Amino acid sequence: MENEGKKKIWSEYQKEIADDHFFYVRSCIRQSFYPGSEQFFLDFMRNVLGKDVFENPSHTTCTGIGYHGDIVPLSTIMTVVARHFALMKESGYKNIAISCVTSFGIYTEILETWKHFPEELEKTREYLFKATGREFDIPENMAHTSDIIYKFRNEIAAKAKNLLINRKTGEPLKVVEHIGCHYAKMFPKFGVGGAEFPRVLSGMAEAWGGEVVDYPERRHCCGFGFRQYLVQANRGYSISNTAKKFSSMEPYKPDLVLTNCPGCNMFMDKWQYTIKEMEGTTYGAEGDSIPVLTYEELAGLVMGYNPWDLGLQFHMVQSEPLLRKMGIEFSGEDKFKTKDGRQMPVPQNLINA
């Protein structure tokens, strides 16, 4: 009964995802905390699939953090976004590939605002021209990079060296998939599969041999949200939401958590450490914590990239238990060495190390 109903829902939430010629806009948090992810995306798209992914070095942050933190007003962020569209126009690109889910939410929100309030679009044209002398067009296609990886998930499966299967038991790995709230909750039609039973990450996990876990707090927000998290005093109830998700998924003994939002990835990863320090609670099997991976990192593992090239060592929760389950070879020695073999300082108190 379960799958038939879901397939019907997925068929109603299909979206157009462009095939090639992307203008890539990066994510502030993912660049800094999970740098291997965006590197994998570019390497995979350009060198494996031979696609054209263009980056303009003068693109800036979308200022989503500031907007959601009540520091950047709406007209400013609309102008910043319009500037990115202007950069796209100048380089001749019509498809935008967005790396961050908050950005994706901002872009969709702004495009919908311009659709329903054309006077705002006109004002933005004016502001941008006055500030920078640039002019812009609205992109033809807007995709989140997880949509693009979803689109090419079968190509990744075809080239897979390590499927999401536990080598010892032969069972599929249990994957908790967690989409960012701004990916689909605001406008379900912009998310593959909608907001209730999203398909973008579960489609990837299943194409690569994993089994997706449905747990009661599946839809719950991880608690990120800039305003409540930026102010230290508010962080308590922010982190409590992550704790709520983890206690809900714990009985299912998941092998990994898969996310497409930088904030969710950061929270689910780092808060496991914080909760462990504050309360001594861990959520994985036998006192371990659950590795939290971005979809690019997971795709990279599946395709046989070196885990240290993917940057897994920079996570709070180390991925060795997952790597062992998947039968991926890794070198403990090379873990904290630079590409040219120099030893970097080794962090203390790693979880799951």
Partner 1 sequence: MTGNVVVVGGGTAGMEAAGQLAKAGLSVTLIEKEKDLGGHLKEWYHLFPDRRPGEEVLSYLKTQIAHDNIRLLTGNGVGGFHKKGSDFIINTSSGDEIKADAVLLTTGFDLFKSERKEEYGYGIYDNVITSPDLEKMFRSGEIKLKNGKTPEKIGIVHCVGSRDEKVGNLYCSKLCCVTAVKQAIELKEILNDCKVFCFYMDMRMGGALYEELYREAQEKYGIAFIRGKVSEVGVNISKKLVVKAEDTLSGRPLKMELDLLVLMAGMEMSDGGSKLASAGKLDIGENRFFTAADNHFGSNRSNVKGLFYAGTCTAPMNITETISHARSAVADIIDYLNNDRK
Partner 2 sequence: MEKFGFTLSKARVIDYDANDRRIVDFILEREPSLKACIECGCCSATCTTGNFTGFSLREIHVLLKRGENDQVRKKIKKCMLCGKCSLVCPRGVNTRNVVFLARQAFQKFDSYAV
Beta bridge mates, 351? 317
Number of residues that bind partner 1 (CB under 8 A): 18
Does residue number 287 form part of the binding site for partner 2 (CB under 8 A)? no
Q: Which stretch binds partner 2 (CB under 8 A): 102-110, 128-136, 227-235, 287-295?
A: 227-235
Backbone angles phi, psi at 144, to 5 degrees: -85, 150
> What does the alpha-carbon distance between residue 270 and residue 203 come to, in Å, rounded to a whole number?
26
Interacting partner of 244 out of partner 2, partner 1, none (Cβ under 5 to 8 A depending on kind): partner 2
Does residue number 233 form part of the binding site for partner 2 (CB under 8 A)? yes
> Of 197-236, which residues contact partner 1 (CB under 8 A)?
197, 214-219
From the list 2, 119, 279, 286, which residue makes contact with partner 2 (rule: CB under 8 A)?
279
Q: Is 162 helix (H, G, I), strand (E, B) or coil?
A: coil
From the list 278, 285, 344, 346, which residue makes contact with partner 2 (rule: CB under 8 A)?
278
Q: Is 236 helix (H, G, I), strand (E, B) or coil?
A: helix
From the list 137, 196, 277, 329, which residue makes contact with partner 1 (rule: CB under 8 A)?
196
> What does the alpha-carbon distance between residue 58 and residue 71 come to, in Å, rounded to a whole number?
22
Number of residues that bind partner 2 (CB under 8 A): 16
Instruction: Determine contact, residues 301/326, Cβ cutoff 8 Å.
Output: yes
Sorted by sequence, the CB contacts under 8 Å of residue 348 that are 6+ apart come out as none
Q: How far is the CB of 14 from partner 1 (least distance, A)?
A: 15
Helical residues (DSSP H) of 211-331, grouped into ranges:
227-230, 235-249, 262-279, 295-303, 320-326
Does residue number 240 form part of the binding site for partner 2 (CB under 8 A)? yes
Q: Which stretch binds partner 2 (CB under 8 A): 35-43, 116-124, 142-150, 237-245?
A: 237-245
Does residue number 189 form part of the binding site for partner 1 (CB under 8 A)? no
From the list 35, 73, 118, 236, which residue makes contact with partner 2 (rule: CB under 8 A)?
236
> What does the alpha-carbon distance between residue 85 and residue 70 come to, in Å, rounded to a whole number?
23
Q: Is 140 helix (H, G, I), strand (E, B) or coil?
A: coil
Q: How far is the CB of 291 from partner 1 (least distance, A)?
A: 21
Of 111, 61, 113, nearest in space to 226 by CA: 61
Q: Give the β-pairing of 211-212 and 141-144.
A: unpaired
Does residue number 5 form part of the binding site for partner 1 (CB under 8 A)? yes
Cβ burial, residue 244 (10 Å; 0-12/13-18/19+)? middle
Q: Which stretch binds partner 2 (CB under 8 A): 24-32, 82-90, 153-161, 234-242?
A: 234-242
Q: Which of 278, 344 has the CB closer to partner 2? A: 278
Q: Which stretch binds partner 2 (CB under 8 A): 7-15, 38-46, 141-149, 277-285?
A: 277-285
Sorted by sequence, the CB contacts under 8 Å of residue 97 that are 6+ apart come out as 18, 22, 23, 24, 25, 53, 143, 144, 145, 148
Interacting partner of 219 out of partner 2, partner 1, none (Cβ under 5 to 8 A depending on kind): partner 1
From the list 239, 292, 326, 351, which residue makes contact with partner 2 (rule: CB under 8 A)?
239
Q: Which of 87, 200 has the CB closer to partner 1? A: 200
| Sheet of 95-98, strands arranged across | 53-54, 22-25, 95-98, 141-144
Interacting partner of 52 out of partner 1, partner 2, none (Cβ under 5 to 8 A depending on kind): none
Calculate the CA dihedral of residues 37, 204, 65, 18 and round it to 10 degrees. Answer: 90
Q: Which of 75, 240 has the CB closer to partner 2? A: 240
Does residue number 277 form part of the binding site for partner 2 (CB under 8 A)? yes
From the list 90, 154, 237, 353, which residue makes contact with partner 2 (rule: CB under 8 A)?
237
Sites of contact with partner 1 (CB under 8 A): 1-2, 4-6, 8-9, 194, 196-197, 214-219, 251-252
